[in-house]
């Protein structure tokens, strides 16, 4: 065995995370001014439009990042787009205080467990965000609407979730080195407020500025890849879920383990199984995503600078 192989053989998951973070961090530091994003944004199925608004972006396909999983699903492009939403700050300061701009790290596309990835692989990108110093993350997704009042194309803030995937990304030995924030990285930790109330309030303000309001809902995560049966949807409604999807929950769990604040936003791309008149399809999910992605992008463009300003003000 060559020495290179021996080194790889001994690498741990934590090493993979830090190597991927070092690779991206070096890219950010090579920019003028260097980029220090504290806000991460994950754009789900067909919701990638926001990435086009990043000024002078650094674009890195997932395939170029060491140890990063590659997206295999149509509608998930699979690249990091990092830069500023709003004007690039001038002068010597690399950390903009202006609420009109936000340094951001956008993940355009994500991987899912149904693609064959392990829970650790699915959540590796969120671990990398933690290692890069990200303090708040906006997780967006396409979801089926369970609540009878929801309509296709609606954006809904997550207030809570139900994990029906049958696994947690945190099973196995705890890795305390992922405690990048004080009081985080614990074996057991509180999930009373998985989706940050202050971030939801900022999102409501931004929606109002855009002329609409946001409902809040409870997202149930399933493994997929088949859509649910009508009986499953009735069961989920009885349990208190108002949205159903195949992502986000593992990312939220891992982000909270690292002490990262989470904002979840679902786009209702279809009525959940048994509630509409036609069969569900991935095409419908992508089509609705394309209809809504500009509105989501407008919301996030207003919201990101507000969040960035609060993060800059934190110690």
Using H for helix, E for strand and C for coil, what is the string for 105-124? EEEECCCCHHHCCCHHHHHH
Q: Is 282 a catalytic residue?
A: yes
Catalytic residue among 112, 147, 161, 257: 112
Pairing of strands 155-163, 261-271: antiparallel
Instruction: Return the ∠ at Cα 298 (arms to 97 and 221), rounded to 5°.
Output: 100
Residue 202 phi/psi, 5° resolution? -65, -40
Q: Residue 85: beta bridge partners?
A: 102
| Binding flag, residue 125, ligand HPA (CB under 6 A) | no
**DSSP string over 243-280:** EEESSSHHHHHHHHHTT-EEEEEEEEEEEPTTTSSS--
- Active-site annotation holds for 93: no
CB of 249 to ligand HPA, least distance (A): 12
Closest approach, Cβ 228 to ligand HPA, in A, equals: 6
Interacting positions 220-239 with ligand HPA (CB under 6 A): 227-228
Residue 84 interacting with ligand HPA (CB under 6 A) = no
Nearest to 260 by CA among 126, 151, 105, 103: 126
Catalytic residue among 247, 266, 273, 308: 247
Backbone angles phi, psi at 211, to 5 degrees: 90, 20
- 245 near ligand HPA, judged by CB under 6 A: yes
CA 294 from chain center: how many Å?
Answer: 17
Residue 246 annotated as catalytic: yes
143 binds ligand HPA (CB under 6 A): yes
Q: Which is nearer to ligand HPA, 78 or 245 (CB)?
A: 245
Is residue 114 among the annotated active site residues? yes
Angle formed at CA 76 by CA 142 and CA 65, multiple of 5 degrees: 130
Q: Which of 206, 270, 286, 310 binds ligand HPA (CB under 6 A)?
A: 270
69 binds ligand HPA (CB under 6 A): no
Closest to ligand HPA by CB, 41 or 47? 47
Please report, as ranges, the residues that interact with ligand HPA according to CB under 6 A.
Answer: 142-144, 227-228, 244-246, 269-270, 272, 280, 285
Instruction: Give the residue numbers annotated as catalytic, written as ranges.
Output: 45, 76, 112, 114-115, 142, 246-247, 270, 282
């Amino acid at each position: 065995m060559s020495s290179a192989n021996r080194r790889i053989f001994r690498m741990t998951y934590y090493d993979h995370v830090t190597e991927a973070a070092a690779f991206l961090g070096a890219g950010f530091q090579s920019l003028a001014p260097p980029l220090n994003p504290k806000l991460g944004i994950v754009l789900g199925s067909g919701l990638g439009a926001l990435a086009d608004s990043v000024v002078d972006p650094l674009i890195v396909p997932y395939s170029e990042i060491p140890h990063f999983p590659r997206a295999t699903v149509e509608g998930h492009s699979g690249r990091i787009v990092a830069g500023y939403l709003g004007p690039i700050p001038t002068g010597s300061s690399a950390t903009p205080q202006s609420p009109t701009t936000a340094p951001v790290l956008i993940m355009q596309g994500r991987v899912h467990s149904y693609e064959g990835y392990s829970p650790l692989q699915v959540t590796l990108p969120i671990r990398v965000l933690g290692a890069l110093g990200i303090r708040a993350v906006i997780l967006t997704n396409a979801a089926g609407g369970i609540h009878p009042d929801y309509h296709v194309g609606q954006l809904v803030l997550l207030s809570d979730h139900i994990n029906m995937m049958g696994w947690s990304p945190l099973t196995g030995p705890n890795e305390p080195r992922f405690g990048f924030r004080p009081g985080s990285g614990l074996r057991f930790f509180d999930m009373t407020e998985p989706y940050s109330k202050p971030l939801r309030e900022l999102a409501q303000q931004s929606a109002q500025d855009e002329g609409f309001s946001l409902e809040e809902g409870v997202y149930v995560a399933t493994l997929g890849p088949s859509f649910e049966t009508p009986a499953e949807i009735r069961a989920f409604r009885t349990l208190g879920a108002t949205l159903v999807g195949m992502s986000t929950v593992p990312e939220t769990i891992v982000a909270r383990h690292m002490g990262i604040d989470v904002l979840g936003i679902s786009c209702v791309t279809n009525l959940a199984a048994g509630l509409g008149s036609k069969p569900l399809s991935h095409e419908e999910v992508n089509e609705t995503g394309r209809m809504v992605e500009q509105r989501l992008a407008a919301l996030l463009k207003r919201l990101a600078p507000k969040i960035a300003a609060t993060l800059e003000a934190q110690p």
